């Protein structure tokens, strides 16, 4: 089975700091693999262990360290789509991935539910839509039996079970099994695994095709909220009294 994992490098969520003067994140934050994507990779590696085949990790935008980590964890090869216009927005990212995926024709595409930086959760669905493939999001459990995935997905107030046959796009949440640590052997082997670098031009994509749909207008910090008033462990009458006094003091009772 040919399994692709979409993997993005994001600023380390533990180190992210906002710089009010720049109106952006402080520069130079270390980049790491997006966490959900590593869960997707772990699922892909387990699937390969079960049915055999190949795991290919693909990333749009600079992702040297994240791809190396994926190779060390056991992916067979990596593809990095880079250069002018990339990564752009979720739409252009998906465009570039689709152009490449059409060549590879994988059976399964695993991706993270969303990234910790932009958090749009759009890339997986956009890829599925452009390739006209079924998509299952919020995957928290799966089994592959008799050529069919039995999938458990998390929904608003419960879990849903679905069956779907490849080719399919699956979006992983972190309730899936923990990503494995790379072994020392894996780290050494990763050096010898192929990493392919492709530009938009290599994929036959024009500048128009890569026009982003979304323009970011910079970041700002939410205004700090005042600590609320907590009324607790008092008889109901008194609680009502306090609540009314509070609302009145704020001029909220007309």
Partner 1 sequence: MSQERVEVIVVGAGPAGVAAALTLARAGVEVVVLERGAYPGAKNVMGGILYRQPTEELVPGFWREAPLERAIVEQRYLLLTEEDALGVTYRTPAFGQPPYNAFSVLRAEWDRWFAQQAENAGALLATGVTVEDVLWEDGRIVGVRAGEQGELYADVVILADGANSLLAQKAGLTREWRPEEQALVAKELLRLSETEIERRFGVSAGHGVAIEAFGASTGGLLGYGFLYTNRDTVSVGTGALLSDLITHEVNVSDLLDRFKRHPAIAPLLEGAELVEYSAHLIPEGGWRALPTLFADGALVVGDAAGFVNPLSREGSNFAMISGKLAAETILEARAVGDFSAFALSRYWQKLEESFILPDLETIRNVTPFVHQRPYLLREYPEALTRAFQHYLTVDGTPKAQKYGTIIRELIRDLRPTRLLRDVLAGVFQLVR
Residues that bind partner 1 (CB under 8 A): 12, 14-15, 17, 21, 28, 30, 32, 65, 69, 72, 181-185, 187-188, 191
- What number of other Cβ atoms are within 10 A of residue 159's Cβ? 12
Q: For the CB of residue 177, give the shortest distance to partner 1 in the complex, in Å.
A: 15
Q: For the CB of residue 139, give the shortest distance to partner 1 in the complex, in Å.
A: 25
Q: For the CB of residue 186, give the shortest distance to partner 1 in the complex, in Å.
A: 8
Q: Which is nearer to partner 1, 192 or 225 (CB)?
A: 192
Q: Which is nearer to partner 1, 30 or 245 (CB)?
A: 30
Question: CB burial class (10 A; 0-12, 13-18, 19+) of residue 70?
Answer: buried
Q: Give the angle subtended at the CA of 90 by the CAs of 85 and 96, to the nearest 5°.
A: 55
Q: For the CB of residue 147, give the shortest distance to partner 1 in the complex, in Å.
A: 33
CA quadruple 40, 43, 49, 55: dihedral, nearest 10: -20
Sequence-ordered list of residues with C-beta below 8 angstroms from that of 106, at least 6 positions apart, any chain: 2, 3, 4, 56, 167
Q: Which is nearer to partner 1, 184 or 229 (CB)?
A: 184
Q: How many angstroms separate the Cα of 60 from the Cα of each of 16, 112, 213, 234?
A: 21, 14, 17, 57
Q: For the CB of residue 7, give the shortest distance to partner 1 in the complex, in Å.
A: 16
Q: Which is nearer to partner 1, 167 or 186 (CB)?
A: 186
Q: Which is nearer to partner 1, 19 or 163 (CB)?
A: 19
Question: CB burial class (10 A; 0-12, 13-18, 19+) of residue 76?
Answer: middle
Q: Which is nearer to partner 1, 68 or 115 (CB)?
A: 68
Rg (CA), the chain: 23
Residue 72 · residue 194 · CB < 8 Å: no
Q: For the CB of residue 72, give the shortest distance to partner 1 in the complex, in Å.
A: 8
């Amino acid at each position: 089975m040919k399994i692709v994992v979409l993997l993005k490098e994001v600023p380390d969520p533990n180190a992210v700091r906002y710089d009010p003067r720049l109106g952006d994140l402080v520069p130079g934050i270390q980049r790491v693999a997006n966490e959900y994507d590593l869960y997707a990779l772990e699922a892909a590696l387990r699937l390969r262990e079960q049915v055999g085949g190949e795991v290919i990790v693909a990333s749009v935008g600079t992702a040297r360290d994240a791809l190396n980590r994926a190779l060390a964890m056991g992916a067979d090869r990596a593809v990095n789509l880079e250069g002018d216009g990339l990564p752009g927005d979720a739409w252009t990212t998906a465009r570039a991935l689709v152009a490449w995926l059409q060549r590879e024709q994988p059976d399964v595409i695993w991706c993270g539910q969303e990234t910790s930086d932009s958090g749009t959760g759009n890339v997986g669905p956009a890829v599925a839509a452009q390739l006209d493939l079924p998509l299952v999001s919020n995957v928290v459990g799966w089994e592959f039996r008799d050529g069919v995935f039995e999938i458990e997905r998390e929904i608003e107030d419960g879990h849903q079970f679905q069956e779907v046959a490849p080719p399919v796009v699956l979006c992983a949440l972190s309730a899936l099994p923990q990503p494995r640590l790379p072994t020392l052997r894996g780290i050494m082997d990763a050096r010898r695994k192929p990493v392919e670098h492709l530009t938009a031009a290599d994929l036959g994509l024009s500048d128009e095709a890569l026009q982003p749909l979304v323009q970011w207008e910079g970041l700002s910090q939410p205004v700090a909220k005042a600590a609320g008033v907590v009324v607790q462990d008092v008889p109901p009458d008194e609680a009502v009294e306090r609540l009314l006094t509070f609302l009145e003091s704020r001029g909220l009772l007309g």
